[in-house]
Amino acid sequence: MRVPVRLGLQLPSFELGGAPADTLFPKLVEIAQTAERAGFDSLFVMDHLHQIPGVGPQEQRMLEGNTALAALAARTERLQLGLMVGSVTYRNPALHAKITTTLDVISGGRAIHSLGAGWFEDEHQAYGYEFPPLKERFERLEDALRIARAMFTQERGTVAGHHFRIVGALNNPRPLRGDIPILVGGSGERKTLRLVAQHADGCNIFGDPERVRHLLDVLDSHCADVGRDPAEITRTRLGTLSIAETHEEAERRLADWPDRANLDPERLRNVLTLGDPDEVGEQIVALRETGLDGLVFHLPNPQELETVALAGETVSRALG
């Protein structure tokens, strides 16, 4: 089962132009429904408890991701729904698989099970979660990948992992598609992409076209090592998109982005797509030529629904 993502929208911030808390969810629904109409096929929210460096101050609003996705499932019809990505340090992996299966049932078979090793130590400390060394976090990630697949596909899942195990675990009702696609986020060449080759249906990476080509070559090499057909794996990339009817307006919107001050300029340059519809279309073609199957973008101003619509229509047209 490949990850069915061709064009995704990620929402890393719930500030949304300062919308009052009691209008926050209605605004999210407007964004999701606009994205769905405009050609986006998937929507992702972060799995964080505080806002993260590089997006905004920790004090910014942050909804719990799985709860938000379940609510949006009831207000959308076609969007695939997932975290970008779920930290293995925050939940027992069998419980997380159960949560995603529940989302799959609620949404009519539109859930994506997205996982990563976790990295933001401050929120672990604030919430009282352990923050193990990197080696252990990757061991937990491998456990979570094996357990999720068993929970999704077996009548009674049994897995003995490094740190977690399940013994005859029931997961009823079962996923509506008989399985749920599993996506791993991250660009680590030695561990992350190897786990993708071994256990996942998709990856989500970062970088400019040159970096993307390199990472996909690394993934192909891991697939060869483990005897996996690379065509079984959906390759997606996360980036920032600033689009408007003119190049100058797209530049202005990026400059006016309140969270831009929190971004590393070099990192932003490597993931930025910017311009009018024709310019953006050319950049999308260049990204697709790297070997990517899908693109996921966040927008500086998703609360501006006309921008969401323009982004979806432009990129989906460029993808063909």
Q: What token pair was written down for 220?
A: 């192909």
259 band by pLDDT with thresholds 50, 70 and 90 = low
255 band by pLDDT with thresholds 50, 70 and 90 = confident
Residues 70-123 pLDDT 10s: 999 999 999 999 999 999 999 999 999 999 999 999 999 999 999 999 999 999
CATH architecture of 7-319: Alpha-Beta Barrel (3.20)
Residues 45-63, mean pLDDT to the nearest whole number: 93
In this prediction the pTM is 0.95
Residues 184-232 pLDDT 10s: 999 999 999 999 999 999 999 999 999 999 999 999 999 999 999 999 9
